[in-house]
Structure 1
Amino acid sequence: MKTIALVFLSLFLTKSCQNKKELVENAQAIEATKIEENKTEMPENKVQTGTKVEYEATSRGFFSKIIFENNQITIASDRNNPEKVTVVMLTKEDVSEISNLIKAVNLDELPNLKAPSEARTYDGAPHANLTITSNGTVYTGAGFDAGNPPSDIAKLVSKLVSYSEKK
């Protein structure tokens, strides 16, 4: 009787392990298929997709935040009312110009750029900063005086600020 029970149990466990192995193999095949489907759906050249540039200048009595994203500029000048913004839709030429200015910036060096002046340290100028998000990576620059950015980002900052002056 023990022998029959032992043989029956062995056959049952062997069959059970084979079923689990098949389930694991099927799950792996399904996962591989999903990965292949996602690869075909996503374009290979996502150069400027998802690029976002944020310029912010603040002091005790001044606030300006300019965001370039999705072919538009969003300008906020009231830190206490973040919903109060001005949106500027950009032309293709403007988007192209800003994209070229972004490409000219060495993103890896952005945090190491030295500010040409230090007036912000004694409230002589608003403190400004530039943050660029590209392909999911956030590059945050070292602070600088508003109106006097490091030369490597001066053209980009000037272009962004020019939209707030137009409003």
Structure 2
Amino acid sequence: MRILSLLLLTIFIGAGCSSQKKADMTATEIEYTALSRGYYKKIVVHNQTVSVTNGRDTQAVESKIDDAKWDKIVTEFSKINPDSLSTLKAPTEKRTYDGAAIGNLKIVQNQKTYETSGFDNGFPPKEIEKLVNLLVDFTKE
């Protein structure tokens, strides 16, 4: 009987922790922007929806994110330490001479904003590369 009780307690605690992680993502907003003189793209992910803006004078197109893609985003997001975003180094410097648009990742979580310094669009820092690529995929659909 003790073993059964211990097993059930372990399952409930594990389930509670995993559902807490989902709850954290519902209060999290991830925003990726890429801009230059003639280019503007903004992707905002919040609560399993995505909003994509392709141009400064265009309206955002909002759509629902399917469960499989959402799980990938949650997985990649969980690997990121938001406090370290501002210290990430860009792997290339093309944006300094208009060779690439300036990319930026911003995370708003629990009313606190975390933001990267600028990096070349298409060449994010390795630590956030998979998450940025998942976000950019929404503009290709």
Query: TM over 0.5: same fold?
Result: yes
Offset at residue 47 of structure 1 (A): 2.1
Question: Where in structure 2 are there 5+ consecutive unaligned residues?
Answer: 1-19
Identical residues among aligned pairs (%): 37
After the TM superposition, which segments of 4 or more aligned residues of structure 1 sit over 6 Å from their partners?
A: none
What pairs up with 1:33-48 in 2 under 5 angstroms?
45=20, 46-48=23-25
What pairs up with 1:79-118 in 2 under 5 angstroms?
79-81=56-58, 84-118=59-93
Query: What do residues 121-151 of structure 1 show as CA deviations (whole Å, max 9, x unaligned)?
Result: 1100000100011122110111100000000
Query: In the alignment, what sits opposite 2:45?
Result: 68
Query: In the alignment, what sits opposite 1:125?
Result: 100
Offset at residue 80 of structure 1 (A): 2.3
Higher Cα radius of gyration: 1
Number of paired residues? Answer: 120
Question: Where in structure 1 are there 5+ consecutive unaligned residues?
Answer: 1-44
Letter in 1 for 2:129: A
- Find the aligned partners of 2:108 and 2:70 in 1 and give their Cα distance: 16
Is it true that 1:158 corresponds to 2:136 in the alignment?
Answer: no
Query: What do residues 50-81 of structure 1 show as CA deviations (whole Å, max 9, x unaligned)?
Result: 10000000011110000001211100012123
Letter in 1 for 2:29: K
TM-score (norm 1): 0.69
Query: What do residues 76-128 of structure 1 show as CA deviations (whole Å, max 9, x unaligned)?
Result: 012123xx121121112221211111111111110000000110011000001
- Find the aligned partners of 2:25 and 2:134 in 1 and give their Cα distance: 18
What pairs up with 1:15-34 in 2 under 5 angstroms?
none
- Find the aligned partners of 2:52 and 2:122 in 1 and give their Cα distance: 17
